[in-house]
């Protein structure tokens, strides 16, 4: 007698999911065909996309973007009945993936948005400038070189949230209008980066001079004042060095550390407000090689006999001096820069300064009256408190 073959049935939980998916699919199709045109319009609206839990990050960033009046389907579905039908069929697959928890996060687009989607609203043949600023962007020349719109504008609608790793399943409940605005407030993720322009121009051997892309030479109004270099630029830099860095970072031959902010994505993932120490204007001038070209040259005020005057001047405006000078040989360009220690060497340098002292002071732990026979008491007590 042959042994009966062992039969295995699917787990109840799996069968329940399959039945649920089939039921939802049938109801979806029945509702879609029953409502006809109304069903097509309803399922193609942006609010319909937001009804899916997994699409909350994309929905709230889109809502805070400059394209918030353009429905999702305008960019993500190509015109034509065939493309619409294909999208609705793919929607059923997405329902299955959602219910079986078989999709991957973060959600990423399977392919780039085609230029044709952008050209529904934008006339690239006549678009020569940006909507703001003084940038010269001949879009027709870029299209002629087969440069896709998304190569420069990939963050315009969603702020590159997928690349920023803020759309994981565990984060969906955190998303709302406020977080969407926060994510879209970081312009480095929504606007084209100058690095992208510069790298592309260099690779294609196109000029990288300012006048190539900027109509007015990018010289701000504040820079056009006659006393800007001699009087004002240091004060403005002290108030907002970040604004200076937006342009001057590209003029430096070396990278400048300490200028990066903590992006909203990191603040969001850490559930707190993170802050980083930002370098001062004086430190920036010592790091940026463009600034160094002027800051390492002797100013016109440093005429013969200036050494006899500089002490009083330095006391009145120490920060102005420190924009070029440093206390010790720890600043930039050590071989050329004149530091305070160049002329005022500290007798305390080194561990064995007591051995070099003309009088035996090995047992002395703090200054006393005998010290002031030779040393200046006010100068000593400025550090050594009695």
Bridge partner residues of 136 (DSSP): 129
Q: Which pLDDT belongs to residue 332? A: 43
Across the strands, what pairs with 110?
A: none
**pLDDT for the residue 35:** 45
DSSP-assigned letter for residue 343? H
CA dist., res. 386 & res. 366, Å (int): 8
pLDDT computed for residue 331 by the predictor = 45
5: Cβ contacts below 8 Å, ≥ 6 apart = none
User: How far apart are the C-alpha atoms of 149 and 75, rounded to whole Å?
Assistant: 12
Question: Which residues make Cβ contacts (< 8 Å) with residue 204, sequence separation at least 6?
Answer: 145
Question: What are 210's two structure tokens?
Answer: 């300012």
Torsional class of 350: left (φ above 0), alpha (ψ -120 to 50), beta (otherwise): left
Distance CA 285, CA 294 (A): 10
Which domains does the chain carry? 10-109 (1.10.3820.10), 233-343 (no CATH), 351-386 (no CATH)
Give the pLDDT score at 106.
59
Contact 380, 367 (CB under 8 A): yes
Name residues whose C-beta falls within 8 Å of residue 138's C-beta, 6 or more positions apart in sequence.
128
Q: What angle do CA 34, 102, 6 make, to 5 degrees?
A: 100
Per-residue pLDDT at 65: 93
Q: What is the spatial distance between Cα 150 and Cα 125, in angstroms, rounded to a whole number?
A: 17
CB atoms within 10 A of CB 138: 13
For 30, the 3-state DSSP assignment is: helix
Alpha-carbon span 367 to 116, nearest angstrom: 81
In this structure, which long-range contacts are made by residues 116-120, counting pairs with CB atoms below 8 Å and at least 24 apart in sequence?
116/78, 117/74, 117/75, 117/76, 117/78, 118/75, 118/149, 118/153, 120/74
Buried b (16+ CB within 10 A) or exposed e, 28-63: beeebeeeeeebeeebbebebbbeeebbbbbbbbbe
Q: Give pLDDT < 50 ranges for the chain.
A: 1-5, 35-39, 274, 330-335
């Amino acid at each position: 007698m042959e042994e009966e073959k062992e039969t295995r049935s699917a787990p109840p939980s799996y069968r329940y999911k399959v039945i649920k998916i089939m039921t939802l699919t049938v109801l979806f199709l029945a509702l879609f065909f029953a409502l006809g045109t109304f069903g097509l319009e309803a399922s193609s609206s942006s609010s319909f996309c937001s009804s899916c839990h997994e699409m909350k990050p994309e929905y709230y960033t889109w809502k805070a973007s400059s394209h918030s009046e353009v429905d999702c389907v305008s960019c993500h579905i190509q015109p034509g009945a065939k493309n619409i039908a294909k999208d609705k069929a793919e929607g059923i697959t997405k329902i299955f993936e959602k219910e079986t928890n078989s999709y991957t996060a973060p959600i990423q687009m399977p392919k780039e948005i085609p230029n044709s989607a952008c050209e529904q609203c934008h006339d690239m043949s006549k678009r020569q400038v940006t909507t703001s600023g003084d940038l010269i962007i001949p879009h027709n020349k870029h299209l002629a070189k087969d440069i896709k719109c998304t190569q420069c504008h990939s963050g315009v609608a969603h702020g590159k949230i997928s690349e920023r790793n803020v759309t994981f399943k565990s984060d969906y409940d955190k998303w709302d209008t406020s977080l969407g605005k926060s994510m879209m407030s970081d312009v480095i993720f929504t606007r084209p980066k100058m690095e992208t322009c510069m790298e592309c121009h260099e690779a294609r051997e196109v000029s990288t001079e300012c006048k190539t892309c900027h109509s007015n030479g990018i010289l701000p109004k504040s820079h056009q004042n006659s006393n800007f270099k001699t009087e004002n630029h240091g004060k403005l830099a002290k108030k907002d060095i970040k604004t200076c860095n937006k342009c001057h970072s590209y003029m430096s031959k070396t990278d400048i550390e300490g200028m990066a902010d903590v992006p909203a994505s990191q603040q969001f993932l850490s559930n707190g407000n993170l802050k980083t120490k930002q370098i001062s204007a004086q430190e920036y001038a010592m790091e940026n090689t463009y600034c160094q070209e002027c800051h390492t040259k002797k100013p016109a005020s440093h005429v013969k006999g200036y050494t006899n005057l500089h002490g009083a001047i330095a006391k009145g405006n120490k920060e102005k001096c420190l924009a070029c000078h440093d206390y010790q040989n720890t600043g930039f360009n050590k071989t050329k820069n004149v530091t305070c220690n160049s002329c005022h060497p500290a007798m305390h340098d080194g561990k064995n300064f007591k051995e070099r002292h003309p009088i035996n002071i090995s047992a002395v732990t703090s200054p006393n009256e005998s010290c002031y026979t030779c040393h200046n008491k006010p100068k000593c007590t400025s550090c050594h408190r009695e």
